[in-house]
Amino acid sequence: MTNGKQTTSVESVQRGGYIVTSIKIIALFVTVFAVAPLLAFADSTPSVGSVAPDFSLSSQEGTPVSLKDFRGKWVVLYFYPKDFTSGCTIEAHNFQRDQSQYQQKNAVVLGVSVDSADSHKQFCTKEGLNFKLLADTDHTVSKAYGSLTNLGLVKFASRHTFIINPNGKIVKVFTDVDPNKHSEEVLSSLAELLKQSPASR
């Protein structure tokens, strides 16, 4: 009888171990399938030295804006998650505050999010922004720049910035952005880049 009880105990332990193992395997598959959508748009950002992907998007004014329109100028192309949110508002205010410094450096600031042109218009009116915000409503440009965060039902632009030189090449990439001091950081990088190529002023 003792052996029978011991055998039963061993079998129970084995069954218990099998159940635990099965649960772990199921959890692994659930995790993989849950994370897969997040990686669907996890394209790498274009590398420094590569030609910046061209695009044409509507601005807050409802007019199309293309990257090629700014050939001959430095372009600060910044992606941000959403209009009217605190971090994005701070970042936009700082870019607005420094507009004269960008102009002195022959640079233009372009903001991109997946919000609509109408949302951009309201945002610009409320916050007093006069540089261009572009509506990437189909996520094409954010994806091309490796800057789309996909949470399944919700997609938004990651907080990335690209400095594009007057010849249309990416010369600086920021993927770790602090909205509070980002404009100063960009201006500092532009100053260094201009020292390296003063003819591009």
Order of strands, edge to edge, in the sheet holding 74-79? 64-66, 56-59, 132-135, 107-113, 74-79, 161-164, 170-174
Q: What is the Cα–Cα distance from 79 to 100, expressed in whole angstroms?
A: 21
**Residue 196: what pLDDT?**
87
Q: Which amino acid is at 97?
A: R
Q: Is the pTM of this model over 0.75?
A: yes
Q: What is the Cα–Cα distance from 187 to 176, expressed in whole angstroms?
A: 16
Residues annotated as part of the active site: 88
Q: What is the DSSP string of 147-172?
A: -EEE-SS-EEE-S-EEEE-TTSBEEE
Q: What is the Cα–Cα distance from 116 to 126, expressed in whole angstroms?
A: 15
Which residues pair with residue 77 across a beta bridge? Answer: 110, 162
Alpha carbons within 13 A on the beta-carbon side of 8: 5
- Condensed to tens digits (0 to 9), the pLDDT of residues 6-65 reads 545 444 444 555 444 444 444 433 333 343 343 444 579 999 999 999 999 999 999 999
Of the CATH numbers 3.40.50.740, 3.40.30.10, 3.40.640.10, 3.30.470.20, which one belongs to the domain with range 56-200?
Answer: 3.40.30.10
